[in-house]
Amino acid sequence: MTLLYTNGQAPVEARIDDLLARMTLEEKVGQMIQLAAVDDEYESYIERYHLGSYLHSLGDDVTRLQALNRQKSRLNIPLIFGIDAIHGHCFEDGSTVFPVQLAMACTWNTELVRQMGEITANEARAGNLHWTFSPVLCMGRDPRWGRTSETFGEDTLLVTEMAAALTEGYQSAEFPLAACAKHYAAYGEADGGRDSADAHVSERRMREVFLPAFERQARSGCKTFMAGYQALNGVPCSANTWLMNTVLREEWHYQGVVVTDWNNCGQMLTLQNAASSMKEAVELCLQASNDIFMSTPDVFTYTLELVREGKVTEARIDESVRRILKLKFDLGLFEDTKSPDRNSVLLDSQRWQTALQASQQSLTLVKNNGALPFDREAKKILLVGDNADNLLNQLGDWSFIPGAAAYEDKTIHRAETITLKAALQEMCEKTGLELQYLGADICGPHCETTQHSAIEQALQHCEQIIFCAGDALNQNGEFHDRADLNLPGNQSAVFKLLQQSGKPMVSILLASKPHCIEAVMEHSDAVIVAFNPGAKGGLALAQLLFGEINPSGRLPISFPRHIGQLPVYYNQAPGWHAPLSPHYSGGAEYIDIQHSPLLAFGEGMSYSKIVYGEAQLSNSSLQDGESVELSLRISNESSRAAVELVQLYCSLRIPGVTSPQKRLLKYQRASIAPHSSADVSFTLVPKDFEILDINLQKTIYAGSLVLMLGKSSRDQELQPIDLMLA
């Protein structure tokens, strides 16, 4: 007899009801356990725990485990396999490695991010994987934090839009991949940039800054959420009933699966001192509506005990299992559907063209005194820096299976990755250019001594210097927080030697995060920011240097001049007493350093001269139920086509509440042909000015406000426009 839950034509809810009724308590709890396929004896987990999910399994191992599960599982409930496909399905060789999230955010191009998600989904499903622990919705507001490169930057709107696009790409692909909004929530706001340390964030800041991106994911159908490692206001996220129940389940009505991060439950006992026993930690996490427990096998035994003791009801377990089974049914895991053929997927050359476009658009030119683009005349170029030819540092975190072996990898991603050195060498073969390279043994994030004579000798034979600096793969990422944001190793010392030569110098920051590079900015003729730009990043950089592409990236994160300035994110609230001092000219200043960031959110330039006209409002007031148009004309006074990022900010005053000096309201990428103009317009409605009042109630702002339109978040690059909301 065909069982109802195996009937692919039956309604999903009926199939779930039928299957749930047939399951033992042990089988139910087993669905809530996810363990790594890299542990000793991991195959035995299928029977030992009635396992529902694996992570970090690849290739033939996936199909073998799924087949083993069919043999061992009484009800033949399929396994779901999760993977950290953060900026591409990077753990398998031959798959597309895109720029990291922070670099993708420099594109401000949601369609490109959506395409990245789609390509990643098809490649992961071709490997028989079903679930990616991405997108990352954390915010990069303290670059000391090791995981800054995983974020989409420092702004709520930009993070929200980019993450939504990535989730759409994953889940609407030809072969959909379940997305996971993580890390819920405010994980990157930990004290001192210390990964997983406590985050102390008021409810107002949570609701204004950190929760909107997650709410968008919850309401638009992101299939899973991941709870953050850290404690939020003293309560670990996986046990935080306000975060997990009140907000996620009750306010947002989220019905998807919530997974803990790696051993969140166990760390409550072993790391956070937030439980007196493992059993208590499990009980607290079950109260907070977690569904799947990652890498905490003890949850199996203690959950059974808690149910049998009456401390946790079986109905509570059924809630989680129902959500898990629905996810598996929605992904088609119960049906005999075939995954895409991996060889066919990898033969698609368009994926690498998309990756190249992502690398190109992620590059951000932040200074140019006319040194770029290079001309094509014969030139002797001195290329300096390990990161100009270091595949690991170029690709960045989550490009390799996590662990110490990643830092020594010499195998994967070699066929398709093009470093800057390789790209320039190919150009030299086609032109009269000469290239001399000083690499890891002379200058880099791990070099501790400076070989003055070798550098000085090389300088005698060059006409143009390219200085490529940044951090190394093992100097960022999870567990790798930094207290010093100066360039690591001997890079600053080498830069000083190069600068003293007086020869033209272009500097490239190929790194995971902002660094303190004030000297580099001051003494370079041009500066390019290239956050881990992906497999095609070196080619894109060479194309930018020689004018084959016109840079269009804009920074999604601010750069400090000095680490003591932190935080320097652009949307801080006023209130600093410094402007009241009689010793200053009315500005907000430290006594020993400027307050302004070295590089500001939204900053970047192209090779074209873009001139902004005067912004016009269709009406100086905005009434309920109406809209106004804000428009301006931008002109390209050059012979190159350009993409300009027009940014709209606003500043308002909420009675009784300190409000940011400005916040990003909208933005638009505008393509402008050579020697022509383009009209840009924004439609504004009252809903755009929804705020939280002093009682944390959502309401539409009323009163006067200032709109600011321009090239970046810097005041001097913005035109103010008054608007009244009635």
What's the pLDDT score for residue 586? 73
* DSSP of 202-242: -HHHIIIIIHHHHHHHHHTT-SEEEE-SSEETTEEGGG-HI
pLDDT tier, 165 (very low <50, low <70, confident <90, very high otherwise):
very high
Q: What is the mean pLDDT of residues 2-24?
A: 97
Cα–Cα nearest to 192, from 481, 470, 411: 481
How sure is the predictor about 38, in pLDDT bands with cuts at 50, 70 and 90? confident
Distance CA 529, CA 569 (A): 17
The pLDDT of residue 431: 84
Question: Can you give the pLDDT at residue 376?
Answer: 79
| pLDDT tens-digit readout, 638-651 | 999 999 999 999 99
Contact predicate 135/213, CB 8 Å: no
The topology (CATH level 3) of 608-725 is: Immunoglobulin-like (2.60.40)
* Residue 432 pLDDT grade (very low, low, confident, very high; cuts 50, 70, 90): confident
Q: Mean of the pLDDT values across residues 199-213? A: 97
Q: What pLDDT score was predicted for residue 583?
A: 74
Burial of 234 (0-12, 13-18, 19+ CB in 10 A): exposed
Confidence band, pLDDT 50/70/90 cuts, at residue 594: confident
Residue 399 has a pLDDT of: 97
Q: What pLDDT score was predicted for residue 226?
A: 98
Read off the pLDDT of residues 269-312 as tens digits, 9 standing for 90 and up. 999 999 999 999 999 999 999 999 999 999 999 999 999 999 99
Q: What is the pLDDT of residue 633?
A: 98
CATH of 361-565, picked from 3.40.50.1970, 3.40.190.80, 3.40.50.1700, 3.40.50.2300, is: 3.40.50.1700
689 pLDDT band (50/70/90 cuts)?
Answer: very high
> Coil, helix or strand for 373?
coil
Stretch 437-452: mean pLDDT: 97
Q: What does the pLDDT read at residue 429?
A: 85
Locus of tokens 């760390």: 267
Supply the pLDDT for residue 544.
98
Judged against a pLDDT cut of 90, whether residue 578 lies above it is answered with no
Give the model's confidence band at 80: pLDDT under 50 very low, under 70 low, under 90 confident, else very high. Answer: very high
- Between 53-57, 230-234, 584-588, the lowest mean confidence (pLDDT) is in 584-588
- Which of 103-112, 403-412, 662-671 is least confident? 403-412
Q: What is the pLDDT of residue 40?
A: 84
Q: What is the mean pLDDT of residues 138-161?
A: 98
407-432: average pLDDT:
94
Contacts 24+ apart (CB under 8 A), 342-346: 342/123, 342/126, 342/127, 344/126, 345/122, 345/123, 345/126, 346/94, 346/95, 346/123, 346/126
Q: What average pLDDT does this structure show over 258-273?
A: 98
Q: For residue 393, what pLDDT is reported?
A: 98
Model confidence pLDDT, tens digit, residues 494-509: 999 999 999 999 999 9
Q: Does domain 31-261+314-342 sit in CATH 3.20.20.300?
A: yes
What's residue 412's pLDDT?
96
pLDDT band at 39 (very low <50, low <70, confident <90, very high): confident
Query: What per-residue confidence (pLDDT) applies to 83?
Result: 98
Helix residue spans in 23-76 (DSSP H): 25-31, 45-48, 60-72
Residue 577 is predicted with a pLDDT of 86
- Domain chopping of the chain, boundaries: 31-261+314-342, 361-565, 608-725
Q: How confident is the model at residue 349 (pLDDT cuts 50, 70, 90)?
A: confident
Mean pLDDT score of the chain: 96
> In this predicted structure, what is the pLDDT of residue 512?
98
State which amino acid sits at residue 432: G
pLDDT at 347: 87
